[in-house]
Amino acid sequence: MVTDNYEHSQIEAKWRDRWEREKVFEVETDPERRKYYVLEMFPYPSGDPHMGHVKNYVIGDVVARFFMRQGFQVLHPMGFDSFGLPAENAAIQHGIHPSVWTHEKISRMREVLKHLGISYDWRREVITCEPEYYRFTQWLFLQLYHNDLAYKREGNVNWCPSCATVLANEQVVDGMCERCGSEVTKKTLNQWYFRITQYAESLLEDMNMLGKWPERVLTMQRNWIGKSEGAQIQFFVPVLNRSITVFTTRPDTIFGATFFLLAPEHPLVDEIIAGTSYEKKVRSFRKRISRKSEIERITEGGEVEGMYIGKEAVNPLTGESIPIWIADYIIYEYGTGAVMAVPAHDERDCRFAKRFNLPIREVIKSHDEEKTEECFAGEGIMINSGQYNGLPSSKGKKSIISFLEQRGLGKSSVSYRLRDWLISRQRYWGAPIPIIYCDSCGEIPVPENDLPVLLPQEVDFSPGGPSPLARSESFTHISCPVCGGRAIRETDTMDTFVCSSWYFLRYCSPWTEDKPFHRADVDYWMPVDQYIGGVEHAILHLMYARFFTKVLYDLDFVGFREPFTNLFAQGMVNKDGAKMSKSRGNTVSPREIVESFGVDTVRVFILFAGPPELDMEWSERGVEGAYRFLNRFWRAIMQIVDLEVHDVFTDEKRLMELERDMHRTIAKVDRDIRERFHFNTAISAIMESLNQLNDYFRVLNEKGSSAEERSFLIRYARSLVSLFNPIAPHISEELWERLGGEELLAQHPWPSFDREKMIEDQVELVIQINGKVRSRISVTRGASEDHVLEASLRDEKVCNWLDGKQIAKKIFVPDKLLNIVVK
């Protein structure tokens, strides 16, 4: 029973049920209709959603509801990214099985989310830890495997001792584990990788075909991929009787190469020092370096370390012999792991040369004569470079590369900072990697028909030792699918980012059983038109998802190369100036706030606090303010619903003003939502209209209202309620019904406006004297300069300012201002 007061809980429950009963948000593939796909990053089910989630979903819901009312079929799904460590830690600490823990959390979270009344098609829910889903995560792994995009190799990897697993490069932040904050160490392990580096160029290139993405996200991805163009050059090493290739972006500085550097772990180092007195020293040097954590490297002020390893390399241009050193700042995985050191023009080489007293030879002169820095890394004119003297660096680069190319000693080359994606995790709660090792057949992919490789239920979660899967006899020991002989399963599971790299495809086709998705579904719905989430995923998730999409495109499973046309990165919700977190104890529970104020209040507060891309501050007063506004809104509309008609005159002038205001408000709200995502100004426009309305009520209270006024006000109220609907869907649906709306507002067409009706006949025009506002006059729209000048000369204030002055100049902006410049 809904009373005449604004009873948020009754109203919200009523419409939530109604939308569900009438399947308002359920959509089907239908190529006849225009589609729009709105997606919010799905959550890890940690329990109750927090305010950051709510903000995310509310933004998405406004967009979804807005487009729905534009006549689009809107796909707006929700699911759970439900593999991951917290579930496993719960098992270790409280003895609850990860599956049980996760499903409990999901139910709880789903309940709260449903309570928010967001326009999800819940039938399409995706849960990544269900075999029905991870079966296809494994299937996708196999596609990558068959196309040489998934491979296993030994490598020096990031290890988080606290999580007892390896981490991808992307998951190490300032030398700390992105998840738990412990210091990351290095370990040499045999691990599975995805060959994302093969897609470095298209990940970079295809950024051009994206729609609206935040510039900073693109920049971050660009930096992460880190493309640099240069050359590979061969330096002959007499002791090996062959060449070592270096990568450099500055072939024009080759005459300044005074020593040669190798990464300490470079395998050629061993060949060079074999049987020499350096063997022992190098071994202990390597040991010392590997103990040095990333943190120490950064905090020690960049003290470089290295040592001479006893042999020489030959500069292919000068024929000069230069000593070979190893240095800790040379990264084996980048470029070729070997560098020609040019201390005069590279800061790091310079530091190294100074520390170990190596010669520094200047070969580039700055264009700017004044500049005589010790280490000049810019472009300039070549000197001390034989026949190349006098050439600018850019030309020199090209000539040197072509000289080397002709002699087969080098070529132009591109390097990327991006590394292959390490996907193995030594943990239980993830999708098992579908690989089998047979004593006689070797490494065998699990046949597609045998998928999913199910996680065993009964495993030992006690901490320490190998991962729970490795300890499970029944899981590990199987017979080879090829020869039937003895075999063991891979016991690593996949990084959860693999699961989230394709979930947006599954939403399109969630009921498909024999494959991850139907092509027709995906072709209809994809790409996601608007993706919304936190900027913290700017690199990791967004790049992995882009990578997966590109692989699927190349393998002809999908017909598009980019998954997300537009991306919106929302700001955080803070409290007391800091990020809300359990450890700080400054969290606000959405569940409780919704209980006392209602969903619509929370939505209005969040959206009104500022533009959504900015961080916002949670404020109790702000919530109350939003609540008060909803009450004010309710009362005003109800006053119109209950308006009695009297036999009185109509205030035509006020009515016209209101009419104009109505069209302006529609135009503003429409634009603010559609083009700018600035819901705060959309709400303030609605508030202004409401204030207009209240002013008018005062007139009506005095004189009573005519039938004409009542019918106009109903129309006005309807458009206001209609505009408010994507922002506060429950209250607006209720008021819509009370105003006589027959169909659901959620399915009612979005209001349109008439530009003609927005125009005023009288405009207020600003009169400036010497650029300062001195007066305002009211003139008819489109008044001429002469007319305005004449009118302003009759204005007392203007006359005072002009008294005894000469008019030197006039600037006239029609319907806006007249600036009179006097001497």
- Residue 628 touches RNA, criterion: CB under 7 A: yes
Token duo for residue 17: 């049920």
Considering the complex, what minimum distance in angstroms separates the CB of residue 595 from RNA? Answer: 18
Q: How many residues bind RNA (CB under 7 A)?
A: 83
C-alpha pair distances (Å), 797 with each of 351, 767, 791, 801: 71, 10, 12, 7
Tokens describing residue 534: 């936190």
Binding segment toward RNA, per CB under 7 A, in 270-278, 471-479, 580-588, 615-623:
615-623
Note whether 687 binds RNA by CB under 7 A: yes
Q: Out of 688, 708, 737, 795, which residue is the one contacting RNA (CB under 7 A)?
A: 688
Residues 520-539 that bind RNA (CB under 7 A): 535, 539
Identify which range of 39-47, 125-133, 496-504, 690-698 contacts RNA by CB under 7 A.
690-698
Distances (CA, A) of 105 to 117, 123, 597: 19, 19, 24
Among 7-15, 22-30, 314-322, 609-617, the segment contacting RNA (CB under 7 A): 609-617
Distance of closest approach, residue 229 Cβ to RNA, in angstroms: 9
How far apart CA 72 and CA 90 sit, in angstroms, is 43
Instruction: Determine the Cα–Cα distance for residues 66 and 52; give it in Å rounded to an integer.
Output: 21
Residues 781-800 that bind RNA (CB under 7 A): 797
How far, in Å, CA of 264 to CA of 328, rounded? 6
Q: Which long-range contacts (CB under 8 A, 24 or more apart) does 364-369 make?
A: 364/252, 364/253, 364/256, 364/393
User: CB-based contacts of 752: which residues, under 8 Å, 6+ apart?
Assistant: 666
Point out which span in 99-107, 500-508, 625-633, 739-747 binds RNA (CB under 7 A). 625-633
Q: Where are the alpha helices (DSSP H) in 407-480?
A: 468-471, 473-476
CB within 8 Å of 628: residues ≥ 6 apart: none
> How far apart (Å, rounded) are the C-alpha atoms in residues 684 and 668?
10
SS3 assignment, position 698: helix
Q: Which is nearer to RNA, 280 or 292 (CB)?
A: 292
Least separation in angstroms between residue 332's CB and RNA is 7
Residues 572-591 that bind RNA (CB under 7 A): none
Among 93, 162, 188, 223, binds RNA (CB under 7 A): 223
* Residue in this structure with the two tokens 């809980």, named with its chain if needed: 9
Q: Which of 195, 684, 708, 710 binds RNA (CB under 7 A)?
A: 684
Ranges of H-type helices in 507-619? 519-525, 540-554, 590-597, 599-608
Q: Verify cis geometry, omega within 30 degrees of 0, for the bond prior to 527.
A: yes
CB of 262 to RNA, least distance (A): 9
Smallest distance from the beta carbon of 389 to RNA, in angstroms?
21
Site for RNA in 156-185 (CB under 7 A): 173-174
Among 93, 162, 190, 219, binds RNA (CB under 7 A): 219
Torsion angle of alpha carbons 178, 181, 186, 189, nearest 10°?
Answer: -60
The answer to whether 218 contacts RNA (rule: CB under 7 A) is: no
Distance in angstroms (rounded) separating the CA atoms of residues 98 and 427? 12
Answer positive or negative: Cα dihedral of 36, 40, 45, 48: negative
Residue numbers 276-335 binding RNA by CB under 7 A = 297-298, 302, 304, 328-332, 334-335
Q: Crossing angle of helices 679-703/599-608, nearest 10°?
A: 110
Q: Would you count residue 823 as binding RNA (CB under 7 A)?
A: no
Q: Does residue number 346 form part of the binding site for RNA (CB under 7 A)?
A: yes
| C-alpha span between 64 and 688 (Å, rounded) | 25
DSSP label of 515 = S
Considering only CA atoms, which of 305, 335, 345, 338 is closest in space to residue 322?
338
Cα within 13 Å of Cα(530), Cβ side: 25
Q: Which CB, 577 or 740, lies closer to RNA?
A: 577
Name which position in 589, 596, 619, 762 contacts RNA (CB under 7 A): 619
What is the distance between the alpha carbons of residues 57 and 233, in angstroms, rounded to a whole number?
53
Segment near RNA (CB under 7 A); pick from 135-143, 149-157, 200-208, 764-772:
764-772
Piece of 341-349, 498-506, 736-744, 784-792 that binds RNA (CB under 7 A): 341-349
- Residue (91 or 257) nearer to RNA, CB: 257
* 228 part of the interface to RNA, by CB under 7 A: yes
Among 165, 248, 315, 501, binds RNA (CB under 7 A): 248
Site stretch for RNA (CB under 7 A), options 113-121, 125-133, 156-164, 338-346: 338-346
Instruction: Provide the minimum distance between the beta carbon of 298 and RNA in the complex, in angstroms, as a whole number.
Output: 6
Minimum distance between the CB of residue 821 and RNA, rounded to whole angstroms?
5
- CB of 265: closest distance to RNA in angstroms? 11
- As measured in angstroms, the least distance from the Cβ of 399 to RNA is 17
At its nearest, how many Å lie between RNA and the CB of residue 528?
Answer: 23
Greatest Cα pair distance, the chain, in angstroms, is 113
DSSP 567-590: EEEEPPEEETTEE--TTTT----H
Residue from the set 694, 701, 752, 778 that interacts with RNA by CB under 7 A: 694
Q: Across-strand partners of 504?
A: none
The 640-679 contact track toward RNA, x by CB under 7 A, reads --------------------------------------x-
- Report the alpha-carbon distance of residue 238 to residue 760 in Å, rounded: 88
Considering only the stretches 391-399, 439-447, 555-563, 620-628, report the one whose residues sit in contact with RNA under the rule CB under 7 A.
620-628
Residue 226 or 485 having the CB closest to RNA: 226
The backbone torsions φ and ψ at residue 197, rounded to the nearest 5 degrees and listed phi first, read -60, -25
Least separation in angstroms between CB 76 and RNA? 25
Q: In the bound complex, what is the minimum distance in angstroms from residue 782's beta carbon to RNA?
A: 16
- For RNA, which is the closer residue by CB, 27 or 640? 640
CB of 521 to RNA, least distance (A): 35
- Judged by CB under 7 A, the chain residues 428 through 467 that form the site for RNA are none
CB of 28 to RNA, least distance (A): 38
Is residue 368 a contact point for RNA (CB under 7 A)?
A: no
Which listed residue (24, 220, 307, 314) binds RNA by CB under 7 A? Answer: 220
| From candidates 323, 481, 622, 814, binder to RNA by CB under 7 A | 622
Among positions 22-51, residues that touch RNA (CB under 7 A) are none
How do 259-262 and 321-327 pair as beta strands? parallel
Q: Is the link from the previous residue into 447 a cis peptide, with omega within 30 of 0?
A: no
Contact 425, 492 (CB under 8 A): yes
Under the binding rule (CB under 7 A), the answer on residue 755 touching RNA is no
| Cα–Cα distance, 693 to 526 (Å, whole number) | 43
Sole binder of RNA in the list 520, 614, 707, 799 (CB under 7 A): 614
Interface residue with RNA, options 131, 310, 456, 611 (CB under 7 A): 611
* Residue from 766, 779, 791, 802 binding RNA (CB under 7 A): 766
Nearer to RNA, 441 or 758 (CB): 758
CA distances (Å), origin 191, targets 21, 166, 231, 254: 50, 9, 30, 38
C-alpha 665, offset from chain centre: 32
Nearest approach, Cβ of 659 to RNA (angstroms)? Answer: 19
Residues whose CB is less than 8 angstroms from the CB of residue 529 and which lie 6 or more positions away in sequence, other chains included: 36, 37, 38, 565, 566
Nearer to RNA, 173 or 707 (CB): 173
Applying CB under 7 A, does 553 fall inside the site for RNA? Answer: no
Q: Is 813 in the site for RNA (CB under 7 A)?
A: yes
